[in-house]
Structure 1
Amino acid sequence: MSMKNPVLPPDVYIPDGEAHVMPDGRLYVYGSWDQHTDLLCSNEYRVVSTRDLSEWTVHDVSFSVSQSPWNKADTAMTTVATIGRWAKFRHLIRTLSNLRRAGLMEQFKRLAQAGRKVDTPLLFAPDAISHNGRFYLFFDLSDGSEGVAVADRPEGPFRDPVRLPAEGIDPAIFIDDDGAAYYYWGQFRASGVRLNDDLLGFDPTKVHHNLVTAEQHHFHEGSSMRKIGDTYYLVFADDSRGKPTSLGYATGPTPLGPFTYRGVIIDSDGCDPCSWNNHGSIERFGDQWYVFYHRASGNTAGFRRLCVEPISIAADGSIAEVQMTSQGAGEPFALGEQIDGWRACTVGGGGYVGDFHGHQALVLPRVGATGTYRHVKNEAPLQQAELTVRGSGTVALRIGSRLSTIDVTPGTVTIELAELPPGTHEIQIALVSGADVTVSSLVFT
């Protein structure tokens, strides 16, 4: 594990990352857990944490749906089945239209069919907070119910769940400077309310609805609240570009608004041919602000991987949009440093990152498939690249404006490059001929 993206081992899929620095100084990320080829999320949570954004710990199971006394087997459903559950009809129509336009309708039908076969509800995206020496996990089930459980440690295990008087998805928790705690949830329309002092409930008559909406703020789901200076930032899955692969944000003068839409922080479209959504957060760690988000993999909308990028907050409070990268929170890849094939940050032409016959790699299934890596930095001229591949064909390697091609067979091949002056470069690999070529790693010298 390292600062490179994705930050966790290639077989650990923690999407919907809510990042919080806890009193022990470590940064903890709370998310759902993709464990199945045909389902988003699962019936368990795992927390991951780090002290330096380089070495990450994947903790044991922190909470299970079986601990929720109100879960019912006959109410189980997947994310797909919840589309429109809390939305007005026009939002459902728009979502279905976007699915068709993105070519994802058949996949989502399969997900919905798989969801009807699960025995218990799934656990969707959670959030957590520290309060008076204890840790509170806010969770939601795919039947629309929501709750809170408590632990003595930030990684859990969380116990004694209490049901909250809310129905929706993607809960978020925020404690203001004065100690007041606020709770957010919803899809297409976000609701918010001040929690009771014990964080175990709230007065339903005091809920503020429509804090942000699909019509005015491009809000899809996944609320996440932070405060920077005197301004409140609500981060969420943003569908302003046709599907909710962006993380957008709105700002306001109070925790309950009113909120003004400000733009996109990051867009994960292009991470996988079937990518559909994004969900994450921003958090300050040390002296730097970061955005935490996920990237789909495996040629599915699922198997979503935790990623991190540094961001900057301008004097006017705006957040500049950043690209997905392979280098993540760290430095660009250096000469001689191995770039794992599965760290490609964008793909195209049918290429994808995932498991291919038990092997995690960049998969180029057909001619025209591509994978892109950002970035490599060379302080001396680049002269060679070594690719470790499976399969046979011809690949093209583009580094900046330089293009080289080579025939490959299983094993490691060396490409002689037109000497590239020192700089920071984007790399793209494309399949020119052949089929089912996978790239395990590449190294520049």
Structure 2
Amino acid sequence: MKTLTLFAAWAVAASAYAGNPIITDVFTADPAAMVHGDTVYLYTGHDEALPDKPGYVMDDWLCFSSTDMVNWKPEGSILSLEDFPWAKANAWAAHTIERDGRFFWYVSVWRGEGLGFAVGVATADSPTGPFSDPLGGPLVSSDMTPDPINPEGRRVTWDDIDPAAFIDEDGQAYLFWGNTNLYWAKLKDDMIELDGEIHQIELPHFTEAPWVHKKGDLYYLTYAWGFPERTAYATSKSVTGPWEYRGVIKGLAGNCNTNHQSIIEFKGRDYFIYHNGGLLTGGSFRRSVCIDELRYNEDGSLQRIVSTLEGVPSADEPRAK
């Protein structure tokens, strides 16, 4: 009886934490979380590569929702490559944001040989859709940006990926994106057109996965650093820079070459959402989303991210003093 009582107590305690990875029945990658009211909506990529077949197999995006950061409700595959007839393959990293009651889902897709990757956008009146493509073509395409040159001296067309939107306190919206090159541009009020020129940001060892958020008086730009990827960050007093590099805050993802982060504040707690290859048959092409706490020092710097197996406690639980 004592053993059963102890087990029951352990089970209750364990259930109060999310556990990492947070989704175990499907492979999820490139998390982008959005707080809307009392709910967090988590948008992810969907890895479907077979265990013995290296390479990304990604045809749609998934959505999950939670009111406590522990229990996640699957909202299903609510956006796919089929919703972008001009896209040929690779439903890569994406980001959803709300403005004036409308939702904008920025995605990375492959347009085809010679055209490269592009950023598209889908819109909806609900965080779970239905979403549709208002442009019928890319928002950002490779003919708008200078494609990088690989070590063999060949032009590559993969720098227009990993979009991340941000709306500043004055209402101005921005889009950040890139691989090898880091770009940003203003968005018009309709959120589906660029407003003005495309700018570049130079940061040490920038690879991909930019994410911008603000805490207090500081803007934070986190990104994937090097390859295999770590996570680094820079800070600024303005969303348009200049950006001061502050260092690496997260090491290599377990059993996975890539790092891709999302940062939110929810119910007074700060969260760092990322992926790894932590499931039994996981890996670089079969990734899984995890969540751990994000902590700030008094000077605004970020503490190093500690990856855990237990994950985060319920957002509804009182914070430990």
| Interval of TM-score (by shorter of Structure 1 and Structure 2) | 0.7 to 0.9
Q: What residue number does 1:284 align with?
A: 265
- Check the 8 A contact 2:28/2:45 in 1, yes or no: yes
1:13 and 2:27 aligned: yes
Q: How many residues were matched structurally?
A: 270
d(CA) in 1 for partners of 2:21, 2:294? 17
Q: Percent identity?
A: 32
What secondary structure does 2:30 align onto? coil
- Check the 8 A contact 1:268/1:294 in 2, yes or no: no
* AA partner of residue 104 (structure 2): Y
The correspondence for 1:257, drawn from 229, 241, 258, is: 241
1:231 and 2:231 aligned: no
Q: What residue number does 2:108 align with?
A: 140
Q: Deviation string for 1:114-142 (max 9, x for gaps)?
A: xxxxxx41111000101011110001103
Q: What residue number does 2:299 align with?
A: 316
* AA partner of residue 259 (structure 2): N
The correspondence for 2:79, drawn from 63, 76, 81, is: 63
Matches within 5 A, 1:345-384: none
* AA partner of residue 85 (structure 2): P
CA apart distance, 1:322: 2.3
What secondary structure does 2:77 align onto? strand
TM-score computed with the length of structure 1 as normaliser: 0.58
1:40 and 2:56 aligned: yes
Q: What residue number does 2:232 align with?
A: 248
1:27 and 2:40 aligned: yes
- Larger RCO (CA within 8 A; separation ≥ 6): 2
The 1:41–1:318 alpha-carbon spacing in structure 2 relative to 1, beyond 3 Å, is farther
The correspondence for 1:158, drawn from 131, 140, 158, is: 131
The 1:20–1:11 alpha-carbon spacing in structure 2 relative to 1, beyond 3 Å, is same
* AA partner of residue 250 (structure 1): A
Q: What residue number does 1:221 align with?
A: 208
Q: What residue number does 1:208 align with?
A: 199
Q: What residue number does 2:19 align with?
A: 4
Matches within 5 A, 1:266-281: 266-269=250-253, 271-272=254-255, 275-281=256-262
Structure 1, unpaired ranges of 5+ = 72-119, 332-445
The 1:62–1:251 alpha-carbon spacing in structure 2 relative to 1, beyond 3 Å, is same
Q: What residue number does 1:293 align with?
A: 274
Q: What residue number does 1:304 align with?
A: 287
d(CA) in 1 for partners of 2:43, 2:74? 11
Once superposed, what is the RMSD of the aligned Cα atoms? 1.8
CA apart distance, 1:41: 4.8
- Check the 8 A contact 2:64/2:76 in 1, yes or no: no
Structure 2, unpaired ranges of 5+ = 1-14, 111-115, 143-159, 315-321
Q: What residue number does 1:131 align with?
A: 99
d(CA) in 2 for partners of 1:169, 1:25? 30
The correspondence for 1:192, drawn from 184, 199, 206, is: 184
Q: Deviation string for 1:268-311 (max 9, x for gaps)?
A: 44x22xx2111012111111111000011436312111100112
Q: What residue number does 1:149 align with?
A: 122
- Check the 8 A contact 2:276/2:283 in 1, yes or no: no
TM-score computed with the length of structure 2 as normaliser: 0.80
- Check the 8 A contact 2:107/2:119 in 1, yes or no: yes
d(CA) in 2 for partners of 1:129, 1:264? 26
Matches within 5 A, 1:417-432: none
The 1:290–1:47 alpha-carbon spacing in structure 2 relative to 1, beyond 3 Å, is same
d(CA) in 1 for partners of 2:192, 2:134? 9
Structure of greater Rg:
1
What secondary structure does 1:32 align onto? strand
- Check the 8 A contact 2:209/2:224 in 1, yes or no: yes
